[in-house]
A = this chain, B = another copy of it.
Amino acid sequence: MNGAESLVRTLIDSDIDLCVTNPGTSEMHFVAALDKVPGMRCVLGLFEGVVTGTADGFYRMADRPAATLLHLGPGLANGLANLHNAKKAGSGIVNIVGEHATFHLAHDAPLTADVEGVARPMSHWIKTSATAKDVAADGALAVEAARLAPGQIATLVLPADTAWNEADGPQRARAVAPRTAVTPQAVRAAAEALRQPGPKALLLGGAAVREEALIWAGRIAAKTGCTLLGEFNSPRTQRGAGRVAIQRVPYVVDSALALLKDLRRVVLVAAKPPVGFFAYPGKPSLLAPPLCRFSTLAEVQEDVTAALEALADELGARDQAPAQVAELAPPALPEGALTLDGVAAVLAASMPQDAIVVDEAVSSGRGLAGPTRDTQPHDWLTSMGGAIGYGLPVAIGAALACPSRKVIALEGDGSAMYTLQALWTMARESLDVTIVVFANRAYQILRGEFANVGAGAPGQRATDMLTLDRPALDWRALARGHGVESGQAVDLAGFAKELRRALACEGPYLIELLV
């Protein structure tokens, strides 16, 4: 078998069964091998940001890596922004990046670029296979690197001749190592912090906002009276009825400062001391008060659930009823104008059990998480890296990982435009994704940020750079262009009706909300 086939077999033998692709000439042998070897689902993206974001979403929901197939340096470059997001989310991905044949590189053909250089800022692990016989072993190493907790970006560069030359058989990645346990000292220090008088909190991130970990956190809160905080963003928060609810640290610096101002002790669980998303003139970067002391129970790659259980034991909280458990109390369906509170209430009232919400509604989205607390249990995914264009691709990955669950992608119109090609993949794969586009026809968040950074009031030229009008984007036409059904809502009753229709239908459905 050739190198490409040895790699495909290595991936499949290492439990990689999804390959998201945007191939070119130098990847044709890999495509041929995908064809020949059964066991790999292949999903085509029409832009590489779709490809890498899909792999991110898949990892968040499946807890195991997918592979991507990308074409040379520029193809990888197009996927970098969503690799940045995946890297920050701790999502494991195996990138297979084609490269010119080794003998062709010296001639500086048009597509020649420094592939490893392109990969470096967004990869934890990079290797270029030297010969066809190395490819299988390199592939196994890439899978092992991608699986390393919490998940890593592994980029394997595959020169065309290492794909087409004769290789040995496949290899298999070593089994996933269990997450490392935290030290007893870390547990005792955290317990000591939570036994102190005064305002204190557990700040949860990473795997600590999954259901089981949250139950332990809820018991600890019941015992110690600490607040349960979550980082503003998380790869996957499990929430809704029956789950322990946490409060996100707000995006807006002044709101975050106000929420945290009295805290004296914070125990970090797969989280970092809160920091502003951006810096602003005259405002601090660190959001907790200077007097606040942090202790780390668990780093993001450690076994956070066991750490919380151990902390609960240390505090004698094992038998406590967890605090802050949300109940199933969805609001009645509201009517009237499309206010954000109203949209959130429609969402809360309509959300089916086990929905997966991918939140990239940016300025509109900040108000949506709170009101959906007391609804059916669901997962809520946000961007960990802040690079716009993560939402639609992550929704694809979530739908591929969980075909029996409904995915709801909440998108700003500005953000949806970065990777709108994702709509086509949703249509081709008949994915159950409801896309809600908040069509405010502006980079609304930037209109706020313009003032926040002290730049005054925008004039005409600046306003033009912050608005998406002239012409207005027609989201129904964009959906149709990609083969996706759509509807539009101008009020809450219309939104409720469209949402019902979208959730009932098989395959993707886009709702344009004229907010």
CB contacts under 8 Å to B, within A449-506, are: 449-450, 452-456, 458-462, 464-466, 468, 470-483
A42 an interface residue at 8 Å Cβ cutoff?
yes
Closest to A483 in B: B471
Chain B nearest CB from A35 CB (Å) reads 4
- 1/0 per residue, CB under 8 A from B, across A399-423: the answer is 0000000000000001001101100
Given A44-B464, A121-B117, A279-B101, the answer on whether A80 and B84 have CB atoms closer than 8 Å is no
**With a CB–CB cut-off of 8 A, which chain B residues contact A479?**
481
A242 an interface residue at 8 Å Cβ cutoff?
no
Partner of A78 from B46, B278, B418 at Cβ < 8 Å: B418
Q: Cβ of A385 and Cβ of B74 under 8 Å apart?
A: yes
**With a CB–CB cut-off of 8 A, which chain B residues contact A474?**
480-483
Q: Cβ of A73 and Cβ of B121 under 8 Å apart?
A: yes
Q: Cβ of A279 and Cβ of B77 under 8 Å apart?
A: no
Assembled-state Cα–Cα distance A120/B24 (Å): 24
A111 an interface residue at 8 Å Cβ cutoff?
yes
A189 an interface residue at 8 Å Cβ cutoff?
no
Given A80-B118, A278-B100, A420-B421, the answer on whether A29 and B461 have CB atoms closer than 8 Å is no
Q: Cβ of B32 and Cβ of A458 under 8 Å apart?
A: yes
**With a CB–CB cut-off of 8 A, which chain B residues contact A483?**
471-474
Assembled-state Cα–Cα distance A161/B42 (Å): 46
Q: Cβ of B455 and Cβ of A281 under 8 Å apart?
A: no
A114 an interface residue at 8 Å Cβ cutoff?
yes
Assembled-state Cα–Cα distance A244/B12 (Å): 56
Binds B, one of A146-154, A210-218, A269-277, A291-299: A269-277
Q: How many A residues, CB 8 Å from partner?
A: 103
Q: Cβ of A109 and Cβ of B275 under 8 Å apart?
A: yes
Q: Cβ of A110 and Cβ of B25 under 8 Å apart?
A: no
A396 an interface residue at 8 Å Cβ cutoff?
no
Q: Cβ of A465 and Cβ of B281 under 8 Å apart?
A: no
**With a CB–CB cut-off of 8 A, which chain B residues contact A456?**
32
Task: Sample 5 A-B pairs with CB under 8 A, ordered by A number.
Answer: A35-B458, A110-B277, A111-B387, A114-B121, A428-B470
Interface, chain A (partner B; CB < 8 A):
21, 23-26, 28-29, 31-32, 34-36, 42, 44, 46-47, 49, 73-75, 77-78, 80-81, 84-85, 88, 100-101, 103-104, 107-111, 113-114, 117-118, 120-122, 160-161, 164, 233, 272, 275-279, 281, 285-286, 383-389, 414, 417-418, 420-421, 424, 427-428, 445-446, 449-450, 452-456, 458-462, 464-466, 468, 470-483
Instruction: Report, nearest first, the 4 A-B pairs whose CB atoms are least far apart.
Output: A471-B483, A74-B387, A478-B481, A104-B279
